[in-house]
Amino acid sequence: MTALSDACERNKEPILGVLRTAFASCRGVLEVGSGTGQHAVHFAAHLPQLTWQPSEVPPLEGGLLGRVRASGLPNLRAPLPLDVRDEPWPVAGVDAGFSANTLHIMSWAAVGDFFRGFGALLPPAGILCVYGPFRYGGRHTSPSNEAFDAWLRARDPDSAVRDFEAVTQLALAQGLHLVADHAMPANNRTLVWQRR
């Protein structure tokens, strides 16, 4: 049975609402950390003008492979094995990036690698959208996010809900400028950067 993420099912429509505008003039998207593939299939189905390239840390998870194959979508590519720490990334021909619920799972060094990778990959006017929880001014936006952060740190000291300001500085160092910060359900955000 293919794995199913309840969180993906709940957040895919609100995220799609942001991506429709953010990716309106884009043609190819690299998704980092595609997980079960639910987002990849949903977004590729509803944004047919985009070629969607899912990726995941190797070895590729069976649910992702199965879901992508079963979709039959012509604009959804086979999943790519990708670790953000790799240099260079084994992908080309994309002008947009997307990732959901990954930055708080990676180590802080890997978050830096994430932005370095997209900094090298995205062309002028390229777009990067990242969904997940963030802290602002060193504070959590809700008690549930604070509890989630404590759970993350107890499970893996390298994981944590990231500071909006610190993440934005990593993006800026790669020439990616914040153009939108969307409030999302369940105290999450979708941050949108563009290369200028």
Contact in structure between 163 and 135 (CB atoms under 8 Å): yes
β partners of residue 109? none
- How far does the chain reach from its first CA to its final CA, in angstroms? 44
Q: What is the mean pLDDT of residues 21-37?
A: 96
Q: What percent of the chain has pLDDT over 70?
A: 98
Determine the pLDDT at residue 129. Answer: 98
The Cα–Cα gap between 11 and 5 comes to 10
Assigned token pair, 17: 């609402």
3-state secondary structure the chain: CCCCCHHHHHHHHHHHHHHHHHCCCCCEEEECCCCCCHHHHHHHHHCCCCEEECEECCCCCHHHHHHHHHHCCCCECCCEECCCCCCCCCCCCCCEEEEECCCCCCCHHHHHHHHHHHHHHCCCCCEEEEEECEEECCECCCHHHHHHHHHHHHHCCCCCCEEHHHHHHHHHHCCEEEEEEEEEHHHEEEEEEEEC
Domains in the chain, start-ordered, CATH in brackets? 6-195 (3.40.50.150)
**What single letter denotes the amino acid at residue 38?**
Q
Given pLDDT bands bounded at 50, 70 and 90, which one contains residue 2? low
pLDDT tens readout for residues 109-133: 999 999 999 999 999 999 999 999 9
Report d(CA 40, CA 10) in Å as an integer.
Answer: 14
Mean pLDDT of the region 54-62: 85
Structure confidence at residue 1 (pLDDT): 38
Of residues 105, 59, 55, 114, the one with CA closest to residue 86: 114
* CA separation for the pair 138, 89 (Å, rounded): 32
Q: What is the pTM of this model?
A: 0.95
66-113: pLDDT as tens digits: 999 999 999 999 999 999 999 999 999 999 999 999 999 999 999 999
